[in-house]
Structure 1
Amino acid sequence: MENKDEKNSLFADVGTLTFLALFGATAILMTLSGNIFLNTIYLFCTIGLLMMTYFFGILPSLISNITFIAIQAVVMIYQYMNKVSAIPWQLSFWMVIPILLSLSLYTMTKNQVALQRSNGELRTALIERGAFDEQTNLRTTVAYIEDIAVFAETNRRFEIPVTTAIIKIRYFDDLKRMMGSNQLQHLLKLTTDSIKEKTRTNDITYLLNNEDPTWAILLYTNNKGAGIATQRIKEGFEKNVKADISLNTMAISMVIGIASWDGDTMKTPYDLMNAGIRETQYDV
């Protein structure tokens, strides 16, 4: 899949560069040929052919391009046979340029669509595996448990401290009864944005539970460092709630539990998660 995506990306780039180069060459040839009237007509015909390529695909485009070439040839032959005027050979580039532009545009768009489809399939696969939450764009419990195992191995091999912070909304069940569904969704988004806003790029954020909203962060730090990081999150969250007209009339606050990985007493990733959840009970 990765090699295929790289190939599609390369072809999309080649198509884009070729398309731009051909348009530049067209502009130069139009200037040199000097026939403003015919150049303008042919330019609009070419734009029409490009639109057909973009919306209908390569086969209708090729048929239209061949028709366009045939029309130009008929016009030239008619002018020659009736001696209306000399054949404008300087405009013959219009027989080649439109079809080259169409082919480069098709190459560009076809591979871009393939990349978009591949990204969509990857996103769907992540959602189906339960490793990615579609609503908040956060990783879920599945990814959290897998990542704890990686963090724990790093802790064992390099003795780097590993800590998790579990974040919940205080009295969420009571708030849920007072808020509408739109307000609840808004609160979920505001909380997620507040956490992302105050975390470092190497601190990974997860959504563990949608029903009783529970977030988690994995950090390479000790309890003290995690306490400083979560205090920033709390302050940012409170500031955002106060500034939000739909939420600032309610008593909304966070509870945070912090737990560090202990290789002597913790045997599975769930031990760290459960330790962090227990600590939320003591955040008053």
Structure 2
Amino acid sequence: MPKWGGFIDFSPVEALINIVDVLLVWFVLYKLITIIKGTKAVQLLKGIFVLIIARVLTGFFGFKTLLWMMDQVLTFGFLAIIIIFQPELRRALEQLGRGRLFARSTMQEEEQRDRLIEAFTKSVSYMAKRRIGALISIEKETGLSEYIETGTPMDSTLTSELLINIFIPNTPLHDGAVVVQKNRIAAAGCYLPLSESPFISKELGTRHRAAIGLSEVTDAVTVIVSEETGAVSITTNGDISRNLSMEEFEVRLRKAWFGSSPEQLHSSIWKWGWRKNG
């Protein structure tokens, strides 16, 4: 291949092939990272990176004995990895054979969304029936850190049981808002800005005004359960949807939070009806 000006002279076709090659490598690495994310393999990778860095440093400083030891560890370490992670490797090969290896991350994301929506639906349904007041704000693109700082830090997994327990009357954290950040409960007992709009109905209380106020200054989605009536509402972009049935609530929450497609919304309604009747 001829050189020109110190560089290899690629033809347009060769340049395109090389670009596609690099993009495919990055795509495969990205998918592999998403597959192992959240598993014990992540800690193993961190350990491997530490060993590689140590190997480079020992070679740089000329520590011959330590360098020999690092070479032995790296040589036999990969064999140990294959033995230790034999079940995970077998599972990955099986998924590859079924053509599901790279679809797994999408499936995991959908399962995570379904779990979150189900936790919200279950907890809101429970509180609405018993007229337990609740105020839950979900962070989207606009950060809610300034409001999280006004409450009690939690950084907890979002579950229906925990949401219900937080808003049980006369408990320390029930008076205020729960803020959900990155699919986790970031804090409870938070203070939200009250809306000053003169067009808000007089029958709406402080929880509803706080929810509308937050939606006026951020893109957050806020769920409200009325303590007086048990009515369920959602606020987004300065608007409030009131007196929602649980089927409507689940559909609106999924759409506002994740921007689900019409097909997914229809599926959500079907699943809710199945759970309700079953």
**With structure 1 as the length reference, what TM-score do the two structures score?**
0.28
Q: Which of the pair has more CA radius of gyration?
A: 1
Q: Which has the larger helix fraction? A: 1
Higher relative contact order (CA 8 A, sep 6+): 1
